[in-house]
Chains A and B, each alone.
Chain A
């Protein structure tokens, strides 16, 4: 009941994702997050930028409750991530991991995409439909019966996205979506991401990719968010870039390309 109420409330004014005062130390004492605050509106696409070891992956693992916050909290559509809400949060927040071989572990693509929704208790026709829709969304319908290890790397990455889409999440979190992809696969994945209506949080070192897909970026370093703003503005701020070990590819000028626009789909909640 409560859940339904909060969801309805969420439809109107709740941000899709709120992270407040989040701090976390690993059991070995290494502190990775020192109070992270940000919120993401419904339907927004946000890039999470920062050097290696900044705490990006640690943060991402909090978003669906894999890691338990030491202090502070994460709210998904108003629902606090915690022990009792774990299953629902994992449905709402879909994580796509960097190495598709970690994500695809079932004998066939179909089984793999079905794994998530089946864990939610979906069976039969409805399950088949969800798997079909998810695979169609990433253009991999043909591969349903193939074993994942027979697919190319780019195809595996797309199927990895489908495994999460099949759970019909509200927020899609992608960890390094463009890493190890050839330029054509990279572009194909960008087209897929652009076509999604979900809220997207994307961890990446690929700054042109962030600029192309995400109107807004967060810069993270040493376990805190150090900047939050329009991607184009952040990328053209030399001081900010240098002090956070961020570098654009040779010859790339973020002001020379058109900024990312979130194309609104019919029937969707308006952007801010």
Chain B
């Protein structure tokens, strides 16, 4: 069902949810537990596979590593944990980053796993994100693979002619390829523009699917941040 929600509603709901999570005081562990249950509930409702969610969560790893350093690096009061003397402030900060970061990423995973990229862009359009940004995003999505393919073919062509760079001074061919790739992409840009002009493009992207999203989509989407706000408010009161 989450798959069929209007993308604009979903994006707004996730954004609001993340803001609420970030604003929740870090001392209220139970609140974060509830947030997590809320998200896992929606992931379950969307029938997302656990492996998929876990795999996508790995994008958070650099932040996790950063958070793990905090207890060692931060100053202030120390607490002994076996042989280690950890900073209390650092521990709190690490918890803060980990909990809020993971919840934020999990929310985005639910969003992106239930919404095709094209829909996401349409959602951003509906949310009045400037058309310049949404067009750039959609062109990027469309041509990333074309350009990557071109890059791959150039690499294969280089290597087929015995190019096997081991030393820094052999990098010249790669630099030349990068330059060629840039010029080619630029020329492709020009050709795409011609193709657009040929179909009557006058400078702004037409909105092709402007159907009014149903009310239940709004209500369902809004329930996520609404519940989160209740939890956060309770957390604030009890802190």
Contact = CB atoms under 8 A, between A and B. Distances in A.
Contact of B197 (A90, A105, A124, A149): A90
B202 A119 contact: yes
B141 A107 contact: yes
Interface in B167-189: 188
B118 A115 contact: no
Nearest to B200: A119
Contacts of B188: 101-102
Interface residues of B, number: 28
A9 interface: no
B208 A114 contact: yes
Given A91-B200, A164-B199, A107 B142 contact: yes
A147 B117 CA distance: 9
A102 B192 contact: yes
B207 interface: yes
A105 B139 contact: yes
A90 B195 CA distance: 11
Given A66-B197, A107-B142, A118 B191 contact: no
Give the interface size bracket for A toward B.
35 or more
Contact of B195 (A102, A120, A124, A149): A102
Query: What is the interface of chain A mostly: helix, strand, loop, or mixed?
Result: helix
A106 B139 CA distance: 7
Given A94-B199, A105-B196, A127-B208, 20 more contacts: A61-B194, A64-B198, A87-B200, A90-B197, A90-B198, A101-B146, A102-B192, A102-B194, A102-B195, A105-B143, A106-B118, A107-B118, A111-B209, A114-B206, A118-B207, A119-B199, A124-B210, A147-B117, A147-B118, A147-B142
Interface of B: 116-118, 121, 138-139, 141-143, 145-146, 188, 191-192, 194-202, 206-210
